[in-house]
Amino acid sequence: MAKNNSIYSKPIVFSVIVTVAILIGTAVMMVLPMFSSSMHPKLEKLKPYTALELAGRDVYQENGCFYCHTQTVRPLKAEVMRYGEYSKAGEFAYDQPFLWGSKRTGPDIARIGGKYTDKWHYKHFNDPRKLFQGSNMPGYGWLADYQLDPGETEARMKALGFPYTKEDIDALSDKTKLDALVAYMQALGTAVPKPPKVPMIAAGDKNPFAENANAVSDGKKIYEMNCAACHGIDAKGDIGPDLTDFEWVYVAGPIGDDTLFFMIADGTKKDQEFEGRKAKGGMPSWGEFFGKKKIWSVVSYIRSLEEKK
């Protein structure tokens, strides 16, 4: 009987060859591409964190904020409707480590940047329940008592390879940990272009619930739950402007119901024009959260306050 010299008759040699082949294939298919720039995309608008923002990211990690808040919006309709555009790989190029999180005791904050004003964030960190009734988030106002350590911050920046100048580092000396955390919040999600919004109504549309007592009552409840934290329980202003002084967008004189609807539905941006008046920005959009009927009800309630004036 002839001796079988086939590789299949040599199990040890065969196993070694197969293992080497698999390792080579793995390296070619998975390891080498990781060193390719195409595997590390950056969004066009993405910028490295400023010195203050990166210091705020450290504060965010130090206090375990990622235990309760995620920073990734999944491509699911419900999440996109609530939080905004779903997360893209290219927006995390400067995040080391990633802070995506996995548990939402609190809402996702991947798109929080620019949604509210700095003043809103300071008030929220100081006492979350003043802005969200029933919130179980602890207060972080005490962070304002702790100054940033520029030397410590610089060491962390060098470890991550961020290119900051001495002036950038020195500018941190008069900043607190709370200042840094607010700056970090305002940077989140700003590299992702916001999709154009489809108007919920047409310019010139009339309020279908004008002078409707039930709508005024409903609007008051909606206002107290969602708007009073910024405009005051009496609507005479706090973070947001007074809604009872006949002054709209910092100019005396009325505006149309349709314009008021647009401001509530879409929010305001700096220098955005409303009937020839320029807004200062900082009001978030409520359109997707409220819906058309609730917004008109809030408009009705605000108009009722004007009538009482």
pLDDT tens, position by position, 228-240:
989 999 999 998 9
Mean pLDDT value of segment 15-21: 91
pLDDT at residue 59, as a whole number: 96
Task: Choose which CATH entry (1.10.260.40, 3.40.50.720, 1.10.760.10, 2.30.110.10) describes domain 213-308.
Answer: 1.10.760.10
Give the model's pLDDT for residue 269: 87
Higher pLDDT, 308 or 114: 114
CA-angle at 156, arms to 175 and 181, nearest 5° = 35
**pLDDT computed for residue 39 by the predictor:** 62
Assigned token pair, 151: 């030397």
How many other CB atoms sit within 10 Å of the CB of residue 301?
A: 23
Q: Confidence band (pLDDT; 50, 70, 90) for 264?
A: very high
* Within this chain, domains 51-187 and 213-308 share the same CATH topology: yes
Pick the residue with more confidence: 286 or 8? 286
φ/ψ region of 282 (left if φ > 0, alpha if ψ in -120 to 50, else beta) reads: left
Would you say 222 and 247 are in contact if contact means Cβ atoms under 8 Å apart?
Answer: no
Mean pLDDT over all residues of the chain?
89
* Between 125 and 166, residue with greater pLDDT: 125
Mean pLDDT of 170-183: 94
Which amino acid, residue 134? G
Name the percent of the chain lying above pLDDT 70: 94
Domain spans in the chain, listed from the N-terminal domain onward: 7-39, 51-187, 213-308
CATH number of 51-187: 1.10.760.10
Would you say residue 128 has pLDDT above 80? yes
Residue among 263, 225, 218, 222 nearest 241 (CA): 263
Measured distance CA(286)–CA(208) in Å, rounded: 19
pTM of whole model > 0.75?
Answer: yes
On whether the CB atoms of residues 85 and 108 are closer than 8 A, the answer is no
- Whether the pLDDT of residue 2 is over 60: the answer is no
Structure tokens belonging to residue 27 = 């390296």
Q: Is the pLDDT of residue 45 over 50?
A: yes
